[in-house]
Amino acid sequence: MSLIDIHAHFDMLDDAPEVVLEKAKQAGVTRIVTIGTEAGDHQYVLDIARKFYPEVYCTLGVHPHHGSGWKDETGIFIEKHLIEKEVIAVGEIGLDYFYTQSPVAEQHEAFRKQLEIAARNNMPVQIHTRDADQDTVNILNEFKGQVFGVIHCFTGSAWLANQCLDLGYNISFSGVVTFKNASPLREICKIVPLDRLHVETDSPFLAPVPMRGKKNTPAFVVHTAQVVAELKGVSVAELERITNENALRIFPKIVM
């Protein structure tokens, strides 16, 4: 196998990056994207991607939880580094009304500012949306045809999935799709076209069955891939081929 985990958080994992990578390789996961979520972790994810390229890549962005901390200098830093070969997307960005750790208005501002950066630089985005379906779609519509990318760790409604697909975004499924109580999400997975589909861990969160209760790690994406392959009626090998092609199309800086 040669799977790509398009969304992981190296800065939050207990194991050293070398150990994470070795476990991933043993499981058949050969490319990992580590995610920037705030100004304070951007240098770390850059350094990890630079050190372990071409096996590790990174994104740079401000998560909605940190929207209130958005500063113009953060945007300048992100934009400055987008040209680097290791930086594959602006992310993770978006809206989160479940926790509302930042006021909604400030989340909106940070989201729009980063979509503007992505549009200016023709860079893909990785989007986080939770309990914010309508506002997410409204803001993405403002940038229709200007921005492309992936809705990561999709857990929303069928309506949201269809809206995002219509806007040109791909959809990524995490270990949540394997959970016992996630049958509605599995039905949504079935309607996402194979050529618009990704798998990820969002590690260290959301470890898939049969690893629930453990801290997630990129090696565990194979379990999500097995469930998604079954839902889509294809072999794991075929899902690997298709999701790799999808990742390389959306994130062309990734080298296999």
Mean pLDDT value of segment 181-203:
98
In one-letter notation, the amino acid at residue 101 is Q
| Helix, strand and coil percent figures for the chain, each rounded to 5 | 50, 15, 35
Mean pLDDT of 27-35: 98
Structure tokens at 175: 């270990």
pLDDT beyond 90 at 100: no
pLDDT in the model for residue 1: 76
Going by pLDDT thresholds of 50, 70 and 90, the confidence category of residue 249 is very high
- What length is written for the chain? 256
Q: Across residues 191-219, what is the average pLDDT?
A: 97
pLDDT band with cut points at 50, 70 and 90 for residue 253: very high
How much is the mean pLDDT over the chain? 97
Cβ distance 171 to 165 under 8 Å? yes
Q: Which long-range contacts (CB under 8 A, 24 or more apart) does 12-19 make?
A: 12/203, 12/204, 13/203, 13/204, 13/215, 13/217, 14/204, 14/215, 15/217, 17/48, 17/51, 17/52, 17/56
CATH number corresponding to 3-250: 3.20.20.140
Distance CA 199, CA 154 (A): 10
pLDDT at 77 over 80: yes
Residues 211-227: what's their mean pLDDT? 97
- Torsion 145-147-151-156 (CA) sign: negative
